[in-house]
C-alpha cells in the first residue's frame, strides 16, 4: 500500500513533467492533439493533462505557459466547441485551463503572461 501513497504519486508526476518538458517536440504533439480533427474526448484529455501540469506547482505552470503559443488558430476553434448535453465540454476545459494560474494563485506565471501579451 505504501507504493500508492501521495508522495509516490507526486514523484511520478514530477518525473512525467520533467520528461515532457525535456522533449522538444512535446509541445508540437499537444498542438496536434488540439487540432480540429480531434474528437471531443481527445481534446478533453489533452486539456486535462495541461491543467494537471499547472496544478502541480508554479514552476511547471510557468514552463507550460511559456511554451504555449496562444496566437495559434486552434485556440479559437476550441472555444467554439460546445456540447449542451455535456456540462464539462471542450470549451469548459479550455476556459478552466486559461484561468488556472489565477485559480491556483501562481503569481509569477500571471506576471509572465501579462508581460508577454
Give 42-52 pLDDT, tens digit per residue.
999 999 999 99
Separation between Cα atoms, residue 111 and residue 117, nearest integer Å:
10
Rounded to the nearest integer, the mean pLDDT of the chain is 87
Q: Which residues of 90-101 are buried (b: 16+ CB within 10 A; e: fewer)?
A: bbbbbebbeebb
Crossing angle of the two packed helices 107-116 and 58-67, in degrees rounded to 10: 20
Domain that holds residue 79: 2-116
Number of domains in the chain: 1
Query: By the 8 A CB rule, do 40 and 79 touch?
Result: no
- Pick from 71, 78, 66, 67: which is nearest to 33 by CA? 78
pLDDT at site 17: 85
Query: By the 8 A CB rule, do 42 and 83 touch?
Result: no
pLDDT at site 2: 44
Residue 9 has pLDDT above 80, yes or no: no
Mean pLDDT (whole number) for 66-86: 91
pLDDT in tens, 28-42: 999 999 998 999 999
The whole-model pTM stands at 0.83
* CA atoms within 13 A of residue 69's CA, in its CB half-sphere: 7
Separation between Cα atoms, residue 25 and residue 39, nearest integer Å:
22
Residue 3 has pLDDT above 80, yes or no: no
Higher pLDDT, 117 or 96: 96
Amino acid at each position: 500500500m505504501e507504493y500508492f501513497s501521495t508522495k509516490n504519486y507526486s514523484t511520478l508526476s514530477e518525473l512525467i513533467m520533467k520528461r515532457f518538458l525535456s522533449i522538444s517536440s512535446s509541445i508540437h504533439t499537444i498542438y496536434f492533439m488540439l487540432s480540429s480533427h480531434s474528437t471531443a474526448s481527445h481534446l478533453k484529455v489533452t486539456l486535462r493533462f495541461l491543467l494537471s501540469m499547472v496544478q502541480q506547482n508554479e514552476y511547471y505552470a510557468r514552463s507550460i505557459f511559456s511554451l504555449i503559443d496562444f496566437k495559434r488558430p486552434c485556440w479559437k476553434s476550441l472555444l467554439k466547441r460546445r456540447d449542451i448535453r455535456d456540462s464539462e465540454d471542450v470549451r469548459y476545459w479550455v476556459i478552466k485551463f486559461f484561468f488556472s494560474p489565477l485559480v491556483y494563485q501562481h503569481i509569477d506565471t500571471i506576471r509572465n503572461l501579462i508581460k508577454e501579451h
